[in-house]
Amino acid sequence: MLPLSILVNMRSQPWILVGIITLLICLTVNSNSEADKIVSLPGQPQVNFQQYAGYITIDNKQQRSLFYYFVEAEKYPTSKPVVLWLNGGPGCSSVGVGAFGEHGPFKPSGDNLVKNEYSWNKEANIIYLESPAGVGFSYSANKSFYSSVTDEITARDNLVFLQRWFDKFPVYKNNNLFITGESYAGHYVPQLAQLIIRSKTKLNLKGIAIGNPLLEFNTDFNSRAEFFWSHGLISDSTFEVFTSICNYSQIRRQLQTGTLTPICAGVYKQVSREVSAFIDAYDVTLDVCLPSVTQQAQVLNQLQDIDVCVEEKTITYLNRKDVQEALHAQLIGVTNWTDCSGILNYEMQNLEIPTIHILGDLFDSGIRVLVYSGDQDSVIPLTGTRMLVNGLAKELKLNTTIPYRTWLEGKQVAGWTQVYGNILSFATIRGASHEAPFSQPERSLALLHSFLLGNPLPEAFS
């Protein structure tokens, strides 16, 4: 109860009441965020930054909630940008894949976590969001939600999440916001950015970055044939039938609808036989994980300095009860946490919605766009992405401000880049996979650093 002296002053000086109400609201918000603070993850090394995890309710009536993992910047978090990270799929986990497999502060190693020296929270505050509901720890009590999830629903839920997350963490409301992701996030990220602009939501959105993104169905998937052929994975004759008889966009479309024709089935079988089952399509130069042959997997890890079995280790770690308790996470409607959802029925026809032109819409609002490609990915190859970005620049009559050139990091060529009109950038990450920060963490962190500052990628050695 408030002291009598304050109550008397409130009647004569109403501004005191306003101040008290504001203070109470702030205390309530802070207590909400404090409830999500992670004391320590099981097996983690000691760190100096804060971590939070928990749920943001999107729809009270349907009891739909999205799970997030938030890592504050290592230094000066209140002055650093906020970066939202979305993995693709559709239906794969940003926490499991993005945080623990790519650029989060830790990676699983046995029963413990080891520090990731190239964590993105060196540059920003990072929110890893499991979206849509049905992915990872995110859920809907109304199971009918899972039956047909669309891009429109996902964008709307992600916007509600952002609004309510900033209400929970008001200290970051004035920070610059960047939305990032990879793969099917080529839909999630531009669509969310467009919705923020159209809804006039008061978020300080400055830019988006999308890696190996699906932007246009036919161009992206049909570039696979040339990529396979140029890397020696298929023969000249197979390349010919893969481009003239039945291309990959046809095969993908038919597989999704269960209408694979005999002729396309024959081409698909021929391509699969030559590529083999022992090549990782997400990085055609990387060895695959052989968890049943532990010793061999350990040898591969030592040789490459890349843990090709990190996905399996992450699944084991996030299914531990003590880990789930530390993350304030629950398994609702599922018995196990999985890296990609087994209950979500995404409307796969949405894959054919082109999002390349949304990027053009963002420019009018001054939103910077970075499109980057790990150059060893055959799933969404750089050749198709580069063609789409170049075509968009021509369509919008954007002048080339930085001609195609190398960029450098760590005394090596880190990739190639081109910039159009100081607002649209394309870059490759040399030697990187579909999930670029997984296989080239140092180069990916350097890319993020330049992007957040609005600087060109370095021409000189760092």
Catalytic positions are: 183, 377, 434
The DSSP 8-state label assigned to residue 102 in this structure reads: I
Give me the half-sphere count of Cα atoms (radius 13 Å) on the Cβ side of residue 387: 14
Q: Across-strand partners of 109?
A: 112
Contacts of 450 (CB under 8 A, 6+ apart): 456, 457, 458
- Alpha carbon distance 189, 193 (integer Å): 6
Task: Compute the C-alpha angle 211/47/99, nearest 5°.
Answer: 25
- Alpha carbon distance 386, 372 (integer Å): 9
- Alpha carbon distance 235, 243 (integer Å): 12
Task: Answer whether 55's CB lies under 8 Å from 139's CB.
Answer: no
Strands annotated E in 166-314? 177-182, 205-211
Count, residues in the chain: 462
Biggest CA-to-CA distance, the chain: 90
Give just the sign of the alpha carbon dihedral 132, 134, 137, 140: positive
Contacts of 180 (CB under 8 A, 6+ apart): 83, 84, 85, 86, 189, 208, 209, 210, 211
- Alpha carbon distance 107, 116 (integer Å): 6
Taking only Cα atoms into account, the Rg of the chain, rounded to an integer number of angstroms, comes to 23
- Alpha carbon distance 104, 99 (integer Å): 4
Strands annotated E in 73-116? 82-86, 106-109, 112-115
The DSSP 8-state label assigned to residue 429 in this structure reads: E
